[in-house]
Amino acid sequence: MAKKKVVIGMSGGVDSSVAAIVLQKQGYDVIGLFMRNWDSMADGELDGAPTTSLGICPQEVDYNDAKAVCDKLGIPLYRKDFIKEYWDYVFTYFLDELKKGRTPNPDIMCNKYIKFDMFIKEAQKLGADYIATGHYARLLDGKLLRAVDRNKDQTYFLCQVSKDQFKNVLFPIGDMLKSEVRKIALEYDLITARKKDSTGICFIGERNFTNFLKNYLPNQPGDIVNIETNEVLGKHIGLMNYTIGQRRGLNVGGTDDRMFVVGKNLEKNILYVCLGEDNEYLLSDSCVVEDLNYLGDKKISECTCKFRYRQEDVKVNLEWHNDVVIVRYQEKVKAVTPGQACVFYLGEECLGGGIIKEVRKKEKKLWYL
């Protein structure tokens, strides 16, 4: 019988490299597909798109590394530009959310619209029976489960991918620890074996976030105000550069290490801060979540959730309405942020999630968020 064909997203990193090896060992006919989602020179004249010491932009380094891995494994590698689609569905969303004073997560939308939509359509053109990625996650009987390596688990970023999009998807390294992945890459002497994991937003890379952003959203400096005393403590460089709970880079003199961003007033262009990380202004007891993508078999009233990727699970109760859910925390939570994802879990199972619309305390929306 002919081997089942798997098209795997090759990113030029160690995870997708080893995922390809695992698929080969499992007997699949493996094809690599490299996605180019950002024109790294589009903002070069304004910002100076980053290059390596050899004058090559990091995106091209990633492609060259993916090509070297595929050549070594005997896997064909195709390349596809999704630059326009990424701009239309991910980057525009990112900018629009920042203009609203919210904190978006473009990686979540990239998974929804690019990696598990446009990519799948392109893989089907190559005759794919399955598609695969190097995500740390698992799929079992149609359920999305956390990865074995809980420190690397990426189900948070998959919360907006629908059940239909998960059909015929493979996560080859979801059962592995990161240390095991590195070990296999070293055994195969892959160019990616010791490559540093990519962090942050892909289209910004190693660049300074503020310098990058001003190419698209002009800075509008304004006052930094202590929300408790109404005292003006300094000047901010534009509200879009700050997120709730942020401590560093606030430009409020000697108290910088004790002040935290707690809210924004877009009309008056004010950045509110408070003193101390346990300040009541940073705490809330519920939030409203919209843009729901629910993966569970039936709606439940109690589970855990995450409001940030690295956050420990929070015990919550869910109150379902037509197109939103009110999430009530069993204990107050710090720095819940509009625009971020709220991702639901029932033990090992990821139940999907939505986007935080508003944050509340004692049933009232916090006026400064």
pLDDT digits (tens, 9 = 90+) for 325-350: 999 999 999 999 999 999 999 999 99
The pLDDT value given to residue 181: 98
Same domain, 178 and 230: no
Amino acid, single-letter form, for residue 318 = L
Question: What percentage of the chain exceeds 70 in pLDDT?
Answer: 91
Q: For 188-278, where are the alpha helices, taking DSSP H only? A: 209-213
Confirm if 44 and 19 have CB atoms less than 8 A apart. Answer: no
Q: What is the pLDDT of residue 229?
A: 94
Q: Is 205 contained in some domain?
A: no
Indicate if 261 and 291 belong to the same structural domain.
Answer: no
| Structure confidence at residue 209 (pLDDT) | 79
β-sheet bridge partners, residue 325: 289, 320
The answer on pLDDT for 256 being more than 90 is no
Residue 212 confidence (pLDDT): 84
Residues 6 or more apart whose Cβ sits within 8 Å of residue 228: 274, 275, 279, 281
Cα 23 vs. chain centroid, distance in angstroms?
A: 25
Task: Please indicate whether residue 159 is annotated as part of the active site.
Answer: no
Averaged over 141-160, what is the pLDDT? 97
Given a cut of 50, is residue 45 above it in pLDDT?
Answer: no
CATH code at 332? 2.40.30.10
The whole-number average pLDDT for the span 25-39 is 94
Verify whether residue 202 is a known catalytic residue. Answer: yes
Model pLDDT for residues 224-244, shown as the tens digit of each residue: 999 999 999 999 999 999 999
Which is the catalytic residue, given 202, 274, 303, 350?
202
Which one of 70, 110, 305, 350 is the catalytic residue?
Answer: 110
Q: Are residues 165 and 230 in the same domain?
A: no
CATH for 23: 3.40.50.620
Are residues 141 and 252 both part of a single domain?
no
CATH code of the domain covering residue 266 = 2.30.30.280
- Using the predicted structure, report yes or no on whether residue 48 has a pLDDT greater than 70: no
Q: Is the pLDDT of residue 79 over 80?
A: yes
Under the banding of pLDDT at 50, 70 and 90, the label for residue 56 is low
For residue 182, pLDDT over 90 is answered with yes
Last residue in a domain, options 275, 295, 313: 275
Q: Which of 240, 257, 275 is the last residue before a domain boundary?
A: 275
* Residues 241 and 177 placed together within one structural domain of the fold: no
Reported as a single tens digit per residue, the pLDDT across 3-19 is: 999 999 999 999 999 99
Q: What pLDDT score does 281 carry?
A: 97
* 223 and 298 within one domain: no
Instruction: Give mean pLDDT, residues 240-250.
Output: 92
Confidence tier at 41 by pLDDT (50, 70, 90): low
Please check whether residues 249 and 300 belong to one and the same domain: no
Q: Are residues 312 and 260 in the same domain?
A: no
Q: What is the pLDDT of residue 257?
A: 64
Cα–Cα separations (whole angstroms), residue 22 to 17, 136, 171: 9, 14, 10
Confidence at 54, pLDDT banded by 50, 70, 90: very low
Helix (H) or strand (E) holding 365: strand 364-365
Residue 194 covered by a domain: no
Q: Would the pTM of this model clear 0.95, i.e. be above it?
A: no
Q: Which residues contact 284 (CB under 8 A, 6 or more apart)?
A: 329, 332, 333, 336, 359, 360, 361, 366
Please choose, from the candidates 69, 84, 86, the residue with its C-alpha nearest in 3D space to the C-alpha of residue 32.
Answer: 69
- The answer on 49 and 180 residing in a single domain is yes
Decide if pLDDT at 53 tops 50.
Answer: no
Residue 193, domain member (yes or no): no
Is there a single domain that holds both residue 172 and residue 305? no
Is 355 a residue whose pLDDT tops 70? yes
Task: Please indicate, yes or no, if residue 291 is contained in any of the structural domains.
Answer: yes
Is 51 a member of any domain? yes
Among 187, 204, 230, the domain boundary falls at 187
Name the band, by pLDDT with cuts 50, 70 and 90, for residue 267.
very high
pLDDT attached to residue 57: 64
CA–CA separation, 182 and 190 (whole Å): 10
The answer to whether position 267 is within a domain reads: yes
In a domain, 113, yes or no: yes
Please give the pLDDT value at position 55.
47
Count of domains in the chain? 3
Find the domain containing 246 and state its range.
219-275
Flag whether pLDDT at 358 surpasses 90: yes
Is 77 found in the same domain as 13? yes
Q: Is residue 192 situated within a structural domain?
A: no
Q: Which residues pair with 30 in a beta bridge?
A: 6
Clarify whether residues 154 and 29 are in a common domain.
yes
Greater model confidence, 248 or 352: 352
